Amino acid sequence: MKFQVGCQLKYDLTTDSTFIFNISAVNNGSQQVLEEHLQIEPAINSEEYVSSTLKNRILRLTAPPGKLQVSYQATVALCLGEDNPNLIPEIPPKKLPLRVLNYVYPSRYCESDQLFNLANNEFGHLLPDYSRVTAICNWIYDNVTYLSGSTDAHTSAYEIVTQRSGVCRDFAHLGIAFCRALNIPARFVSGYAYGLEPPDFHAVFEAYLGSRWYLFDATRLIPRKGFVRIGTGRDAADMSFATIFGTAQLEGLNVSVDCLTEEPPQATLGAITCV
Amino acid sequence: MKFQVGCQLKYDLTTDSTFIFNISAVNNGSQQVLEEHLQIEPAINSEEYVSSTLKNRILRLTAPPGKLQVSYQATVALCLGEDNPNLIPEIPPKKLPLRVLNYVYPSRYCESDQLFNLANNEFGHLLPDYSRVTAICNWIYDNVTYLSGSTDAHTSAYEIVTQRSGVCRDFAHLGIAFCRALNIPARFVSGYAYGLEPPDFHAVFEAYLGSRWYLFDATRLIPRKGFVRIGTGRDAADMSFATIFGTAQLEGLNVSVDCLTEEPPQATLGAITCV
Amino acid sequence: MKFQVGCQLKYDLTTDSTFIFNISAVNNGSQQVLEEHLQIEPAINSEEYVSSTLKNRILRLTAPPGKLQVSYQATVALCLGEDNPNLIPEIPPKKLPLRVLNYVYPSRYCESDQLFNLANNEFGHLLPDYSRVTAICNWIYDNVTYLSGSTDAHTSAYEIVTQRSGVCRDFAHLGIAFCRALNIPARFVSGYAYGLEPPDFHAVFEAYLGSRWYLFDATRLIPRKGFVRIGTGRDAADMSFATIFGTAQLEGLNVSVDCLTEEPPQATLGAITCV
Amino acid sequence: MKFQVGCQLKYDLTTDSTFIFNISAVNNGSQQVLEEHLQIEPAINSEEYVSSTLKNRILRLTAPPGKLQVSYQATVALCLGEDNPNLIPEIPPKKLPLRVLNYVYPSRYCESDQLFNLANNEFGHLLPDYSRVTAICNWIYDNVTYLSGSTDAHTSAYEIVTQRSGVCRDFAHLGIAFCRALNIPARFVSGYAYGLEPPDFHAVFEAYLGSRWYLFDATRLIPRKGFVRIGTGRDAADMSFATIFGTAQLEGLNVSVDCLTEEPPQATLGAITCV
């Protein structure tokens, strides 16, 4: 399936500012950037770094005071796998690949250590397989209200679990924290999501089950097969769409996702996997 | 300089438990394990994983209910560099190597985002070089009391900054959080420390300055040149000496560090670096 | 029903220290102190203040360095009323007596403002009467584990709701916080509890319903009709059994409660009220 | 000195809502309401309750869906005493009047228990008199930035001490928390403040020293002798200008304070007291 994704970011800078952007679609076994275009006004050099393991494409630029506009457009071929969710077990810590182990540990926005009792009370008795992560997503969907503006850049899973409202990044953080509290490796994924209304960057999470990472979205806002990945991290601390060193005001944000294939992605109960 | 380091850990398990140990000394350009011995009672297979970038040596084993004793001994040749602290600048975000960037972001125990104002009020006016990290260490030493038992595995830098008491890991977390709030990459280092009384595992931190990582210890408890590294991470979430999946009680912990060289390491005002 | 209640507190002081004790049984319409004895060793003057509205009996004394022992014994006639729980409505804010209004507001250990969504998600759909507070107690009993030592003097309802373990004071705090989040006035009550094993001071809570205060205990550890009140406050900040200004170590704490009446109090489903 | 104070509050209600207002000026030995006018549109009955000890005047009304406008105007004769700050000692806990003791305990927004070490590190070595509370105010003024919108109704002193920004209520909360951590009774005072720009409700705090309560304002935004008291409480939980039970949106808030006396109040270094 092909998608045309893009964003346009407008800033007003009062000082020289350095930006780290996570807006470029990754290239990996499931997703191929066929064509892309990055435009920066005023014309400024930028620099890209591709992280070794995760293939995140980190974009850095430094701009002078005044207006800055960054536009990114990409055509992406996406081919996410779909497994039978009934056949995917959790992997106990004694057998987990040691390279995924750090995704069991708590992180800034996913304080799984503090959610241990809650997670085990709510989900400890469930079967240790894919369906348990689905139960986590259902719990979040049932208990947390999606409410724009109800959280900010400091809000973590620990607060969401009591505050009971948040946005996509908070839903992802809570899903990750619950998984880790049950010893299931989980991580944060940012991307462009087909069908999101209003269009915006989106965040979902992945859990390591069986022998790979599976995609989950507790918001139920999008068909997961239309999720074009920007990048992967322990939580939003790693994957903010923009980190700013300096003084800049975001003045405009437009995100667009169009499906270039005749049959757009549908909701599915399947287990979605990448690579 | 040569050191003989070791630890003996005794547990009582009530269920099958999987342990992840971070107790083995790393091998890198500054530190070489000349000889080592790992003994597990009862005899159980263990597995080692060496992380690709940081070279951390993660040890995993799964033990049955009953007693478990893990003993590790190593002879380590250590040769930490020492630079002139007056010649080491901070590197602004626009020039930082992108591979160290994730050490600027907040993590579980180092909520630098929440310490932004405090860090900038206290240290924002200082010269952007090595001496600023020294000022951070001095602030911590002057304002936080080293007090065994005053914190636990959930305590983070955000709490320490008000609670004003903690142990080595808390001192390191606060140093890291302050650095990151000033855009200085910083990370957590665990190890064996010569001269620590009573002997225990120790934690310090590294800040990225000039073109490398420098070692800092706000506790002032040890000569940094006698610090034998176990491993490196974003904070203690990555580098607990033992993570236990199961039900086990720590019943004994002995750590020993002996200097095998005639002249033991001395305190220094130099900038200590590894590799 | 008559009870013999008492406590013996032993301290070791390293400096002159002032103590505020809340250990004396109150006198009110439901409870009469028939006889009591306070013994302080070494012999030190103490001072009692009876608060105007709540009738709490606050005891203050200042002791020199060395040992201090405070023993209190009282014979108390207790006659708690019991109403039919099916006939007790909540009172909406527009009709609440204004003198009880401050028990709707959040306090140090009962951050009802932060539990608003959670309380309303869990209990918002229930009938606004006595049974809703019972539902709150059942929720706490079902979801929070009673575990000695799992909390300390800083722990609040906000933490308990995620930590899911605590002691009687934490159970009371959470009950209070949930009630207030639903606009039900609620307050903290400390006392001597018949049947508590092992004997200790106990804490329960009261909710204002119908036209009076009713006693609730989410721990289910005691028959409420055997609860001899020490005092009442917004939360444990007001009603610690001992507040110490100085440096003193608690070295011994004995609490005893005996029933002097032939038929000891039984568990009841009735609505227990005082005065 | 005479002042004309007033406020106009406009709400849009989507349901029947009950309001508790703290907007009326108190009558006490230092302040006399000479004339006042309360207007409610649409015409709705309201009810006033004067609290027994503090003389707070709590106003309650219940309004139907639609617009609500509450206008309050009062002419107030104010005569705050002024003592010599050099002659006012702190009172140690052993001598404090027991009726002020609950103002030493922590409350919702003033977690003095958690600020104990910080307060004692910063202020523990200072002389135990009026000047120590002045030092607290200076610390707050020097270290916390007054920034509208930087905090919300959930923000407490514990957060301000690290966040380092806030508004008048936050400045007051932190002052209170520091005082209590040093065993100085302290409480929250809301009112109308002459000279505040832009005009708004204001919050300051009182500390109990010598034999009475003294007024402090760490914001330095107003002359304290022009502070017309609305009410007094443990913290803002008791003294919100409006508590709403229902669904109402604040659509307009106007506050005005005029001095009717020829010589308006001036800044002073004196110790300001009421009653």
* Whole-number Cα distances in Å, C257 to A40, C75, C194, C264: 78, 10, 5, 11
- Chain B residues with CB under 8 Å of D115 CB are 162
Query: To the nearest whole number, what is the mean pLDDT of chain D?
Result: 97
| Crossing angle of helices D168-181 and D130-143, rounded to 10° | 140
The residue-averaged pLDDT of A147-153 equals: 95
Question: How many Å apart are CA A139 and CA A135, to the nearest integer?
Answer: 6
Instruction: Tell me whether residues B114 and D165 touch, CB distance under 8 A.
Output: no
ipTM: 0.96
CA angle C188, C192, C193 (to 5 degrees): 95
Instruction: Tell me whether residues D105 and C245 touch, CB distance under 8 A.
Output: no
Question: How many Å apart are CA A101 and CA C232, to the nearest integer?
Answer: 50
pLDDT at B162: 97
Which residues of B lie inside 8 Å of D (Cβ-Cβ)? 114-115, 117-118, 121, 143, 145, 158, 161-165
Q: Please check whether residue A251 is in contact with residue A212, taking contact to mean a CB–CB distance below 8 angstroms.
A: no
* Whole-number Cα distances in Å, B176 to B218, C128, D87: 11, 50, 45
Same domain, C33 and C93: no
Q: Please check whether residue D123 is in contact with residue D132, taking contact to mean a CB–CB distance below 8 angstroms.
A: yes
Nearest to A104 by CA among A214, A273, A203, A113: A113
Interface test with B, best of D162, D164, D165, D170 (most B CBs within 10 A): D162
> Is B269 inside any structural domain?
no
Residue D122 φ then ψ, to 5°: -80, -40
pLDDT at D45: 95
Which residues of A lie inside 8 Å of C (Cβ-Cβ)? 114-115, 117-118, 121, 143, 145, 158, 161-165
A14 Ramachandran zone, left/alpha/beta (phi>0; psi -120 to 50)? alpha
Same domain, B75 and B89: no
Cis geometry, peptide bond prior to residue C92 (ω within 30 degrees of 0) = no
| Crossing angle of helices A168-181 and A130-143, rounded to 10° | 140
Kindly tell me the sign of the dihedral angle through the C-alpha atoms of B192, B194, B198, B204. Answer: negative
Q: What is the CATH number of the domain that holds A228?
A: 3.10.620.30
Token pair, residue D63, equals: 């309004």
Nearest to A90 by CA among A133, A139, A121, A122: A133
User: For residue B168, what is the DSSP state?
Assistant: H
Question: How many Å apart are CA D136 and CA D130, to the nearest integer?
Answer: 10
Query: To the nearest whole number, what is the mean pLDDT of chain C?
Result: 97
Q: At C55, which amino acid appears? A: K
Quick: pLDDT tens for A79-138. 999 999 999 999 999 999 999 999 999 999 999 999 999 999 999 999 999 999 999 999
> Is B275 inside any structural domain?
no
Of A49, A111, A245, the CB nearest to B183: A245
Q: What is the CATH number of the domain that holds C48?
A: 2.60.40.2250
Question: How many Å apart are CA A229 and CA A226, to the nearest integer?
Answer: 9
Same domain, B86 and B166: yes
User: How far off is chain A from B203, nearest CA to CA, in Å?
Assistant: 18
Same domain, A85 and A152: yes
Same domain, D10 and D136: no
Question: How many Å apart are CA D152 and CA D163, to the nearest integer?
Answer: 13
Quick: pLDDT tens for C97-146. 999 999 999 999 999 999 999 999 999 999 999 999 999 999 999 999 99
* Whole-number Cα distances in Å, B151 to A84, B252, C41: 45, 20, 35
Same domain, B94 and B56: no
- Chain A residues with CB under 8 Å of C117 CB are 145, 162-165
Q: At A244, which amino acid appears? A: I
Question: How many Å apart are CA C107 and CA C100, to the nearest integer?
Answer: 14
Instruction: Tell me whether residues C93 and D20 touch, CB distance under 8 A.
Output: yes
Per-residue b or e along D179-198, where b marks 16 or more CB atoms closer than 10 Å to that residue's CB = bbbbbbbbbbbbbbbbbbee
Q: In what order do the strands lie in the sheet with D17-21?
A: D46-50, D57-63, D17-21, D242-245
The residue-averaged pLDDT of A155-176 equals: 98
Same domain, B139 and B60: no
Model confidence at A275, pLDDT cuts 50, 70, 90, reads confident
Same domain, D49 and D72: yes
Interface test with D, best of B162, B163, B170 (most D CBs within 10 A): B162
Cβ neighbours for D253, distance < 8 A, ≥ 6 positions apart: D7, D8, D9, D10, D200
- Chain D residues with CB under 8 Å of C238 CB are 102, 105
Cβ neighbours for C262, distance < 8 A, ≥ 6 positions apart: none
**What is the pLDDT tens value at each position of chain B, 275 positions in all?**
999 999 999 999 999 999 999 999 999 999 999 999 999 999 999 999 999 899 999 999 999 999 999 999 999 999 999 999 999 999 999 999 999 999 999 999 999 999 999 999 999 999 999 999 999 999 999 999 999 999 999 999 999 999 999 999 999 999 999 999 999 999 999 999 999 999 999 999 999 999 999 999 999 999 999 999 999 999 999 999 999 999 999 999 999 999 999 999 999 999 999 87
Query: To the nearest whole number, what is the mean pLDDT of chain A?
Result: 97
Residue D165 φ then ψ, to 5°: -150, 155
Residues shown for chain A: 275
Tell me which residue has tokens 């960057």. Answer: A201
Burial of B125 (0-12, 13-18, 19+ CB in 10 A): exposed
Same domain, D192 and D100: yes
Question: How many Å apart are CA C264 and CA A187, to the nearest integer?
Answer: 57
The residue-averaged pLDDT of C84-88 equals: 96
User: How far off is chain A from C208, nearest CA to CA, in Å?
Assistant: 25
Question: How many Å apart are CA A246 and CA A239, to the nearest integer?
Answer: 18
Q: Please check whether residue B80 is in contact with residue B30, taking contact to mean a CB–CB distance below 8 angstroms.
A: yes
pLDDT at D14: 97
Radius of gyration of chain B (CA): 18
Centre a 10 Å sphere on the Cβ of residue D67 and count the other Cβ atoms it contains. 12
Cα C248 to chain centroid distance, Å, stands at 24
Of A20, A111, A153, the CB nearest to B108: A111
pLDDT at A274: 86
Q: Does residue D226 surpass a pLDDT of 90?
A: yes
Residue in chain D nearest C244 by alpha carbon: D93
Nearest to A118 by CA among A171, A160, A146: A160
Q: Does residue D78 surpass a pLDDT of 80?
A: yes
Q: Helix/strand/coil (H, E, C) string of chain C?
A: CEEEEEEEEEEEECCCEEEEECCCCCCECCEEEEEEEEEEECCCCEEEEECCCCCCEEEEEEECCEEEEEEEEEEEEECCEEECHHHCECCCCCCCCHHHHHHCCCECCECHHHHHHHHHHHHCCCCCEHHHHHHHHHHHHHHCEECCCCCCCCCCHHHHHHHCEECHHHHHHHHHHHHHHCCCCEEEEEEEECCCCCCCEEEEEEEEECCEEEEECCCCCCCHHHEEEEEEECCCCCCCCEEEECCEEEEEEEEEEEECCCCCCCCCCCEEECC
> Is B59 inside any structural domain?
yes
Question: How many Å apart are CA D173 and CA D256, to the nearest integer?
Answer: 24
User: For residue D211, what is the DSSP state?
Assistant: T
Question: How many Å apart are CA C228 and CA C264, to the nearest integer?
Answer: 13
Work out the end-to-end distance of chain B between its first and last CA atoms, rounded to an integer number of angstroms: 15
Centre a 10 Å sphere on the Cβ of residue C45 and count the other Cβ atoms it contains. 8
Q: Which structural domain range is residue A73 located in?
A: 2-79+242-259
Helices (H) and strands (E) in chain A, counts: 4, 16
Nearest to A254 by CA among A40, A9, A11: A9
Nearest to A205 by CA among A75, A69, A86, A110: A110
> Is A85 inside any structural domain?
yes
The stretches of chain A forming alpha helices (DSSP H) are: 116-123, 130-143, 157-163, 168-181
Same domain, C172 and C254: no
Q: Please check whether residue C152 is in contact with residue C181, taking contact to mean a CB–CB distance below 8 angstroms.
A: no
> Is C46 inside any structural domain?
yes
> Is C183 inside any structural domain?
yes
Same domain, B166 and B94: yes
Nearest to B172 by CA among B202, B150, B148, B200: B202
The residue-averaged pLDDT of A50-64 equals: 96
Domain tally, chain C: 2
Q: What percent of chain A has pLDDT over 90?
A: 99
Quick: pLDDT tens for D94-119. 999 999 999 999 999 999 999 999 99
> Is C264 inside any structural domain?
no
Which residues of C lie inside 8 Å of D (Cβ-Cβ)? 18, 20, 47, 49, 51-53, 58, 60, 62, 92-94, 98-99, 101-102, 105-108, 110-111, 113-114, 153-154, 183, 233-234, 237-238, 243, 245
Q: Is A95 helix (H, G, I), strand (E, B) or coil?
A: coil
The stretches of chain B forming alpha helices (DSSP H) are: 116-123, 130-143, 157-163, 168-181
Cβ neighbours for C81, distance < 8 A, ≥ 6 positions apart: C30, C272, C273, C274
Question: How many Å apart are CA D136 and CA D110, to the nearest integer?
Answer: 14
Question: How many Å apart are CA B81 and CA B214, to the nearest integer?
Answer: 9
Same domain, C110 and C226: yes
Instruction: Tell me whether residues C163 and A117 touch, CB distance under 8 A.
Output: yes
> Is C164 inside any structural domain?
yes
Residues shown for chain B: 275
pLDDT at A92: 97
The residue-averaged pLDDT of C48-71 equals: 96
pLDDT at D36: 97
Token pair, residue A145, equals: 């209200």
User: Which residues on neighbouring strands pair with residue B187, listed in sequence order?
Assistant: B206
